[in-house]
Amino acid sequence: MLKISERDLDQELVLRAQNGDQRAFELLVVKYQRRIARLLSRMIRDQAEIEDVSQEAFIKAYRALPTFRGESAFYTWLYRIAINTAKNYLSTLGRRPMLATEYEDEDGDTVDASSLVPDFHTPETELSNKQIVSTVNEAVNALPEELREAITLREMDGMSYDEIAAAMDCPIGTVRSRIFRAREAIANRLRPLLKEVGKDKRW
């Protein structure tokens, strides 16, 4: 039996919605509203604001639906709308996007920001979880916006380089460069802590 991919399923729902089937778009909202809310929670702290911005993003997506041609996955297209909506919202308030220290993965499990730490398997494993989260959080918040967005998409959303390139509207080589630079910056922030922990160790 031929299995329909998620992208094909989304495309079918989009086509129905474009032809006036409002229920089809409602199904897309139900499918992605939790994921979009998690995405926005990295930029906005307040839950009520997250809900408002999420709703606005879906309204914008619905209005822009006639322009969707399927060159990218529907979620990638929706992601860009949600990010731009959040940026515009924060800009009107004169606020900078924040990075939350905890997120939910696709299974609903809580993941902390230390998942951004490169997997060295060296003395940093002895650091307290709070230290790691705090240091990584500071490092990511200090990144230029394009680096912060790229590393977040890769490490938190688990998106492929191709998907990130589509979402950020840039070449895949640029994505690789941004992620590499972001990881280097995070590692540089962690290095003093690792030296402090490891200076009295023999290994």
Q: Render pLDDT for 106-165 as a digit per residue (tens, 0 to 9).
A: 333 444 444 444 444 444 444 455 676 777 778 888 888 888 888 888 887 778 888 888
- The CA distance from 85 to 50, in Å, is 11
Q: What is the 3-state secondary structure (H, E, C) of the chain?
A: CCCCCHHHHHHHHHHHHHCCCHHHHHHHHHHHHHHHHHHHHCCCCCHHHHHHHHHHHHHHHHHHHHHCCCCCCHHHHHHHHHHHHHHHHHHHCCCCCCCCCEEECCCCCEEEHHHHCCCCCCHHHHCCHHHHHHHHHHHHHHCCHHHHHHHHHHHCCCCCHHHHHHHHCCCHHHHHHHHHHHHHHHHHHHHHHHHHHHCCCCC
pLDDT tens column, 22-33? 899 999 999 999
Burial (0-12, 13-18, 19+ Cβ within 10 Å), 79: buried
Q: Which CATH number fits domain 1-98: 3.30.465.10, 1.10.1740.10, 2.40.50.140, 1.10.240.10?
A: 1.10.1740.10
pLDDT tens column, 161-179? 888 888 888 898 999 999 9
Query: In terms of residues, how long is the chain?
Result: 203
Assign domain 103-203 to a CATH class: mainly alpha
pTM for this structure? 0.58
Q: Are strands 102-104 and 110-112 parallel, antiparallel or unpaired?
A: antiparallel
Question: Do residues 164 and 146 touch, judged by C-beta distance below 8 A?
Answer: no
pLDDT band at 5 (very low <50, low <70, confident <90, very high): confident
Sorted by sequence, the CB contacts under 8 Å of residue 90 that are 6+ apart come out as: 43, 44, 96, 97
The CB-based long-range contact list for 4-7 (8 Å cut-off, 24+ gap) reads 7/73, 7/74
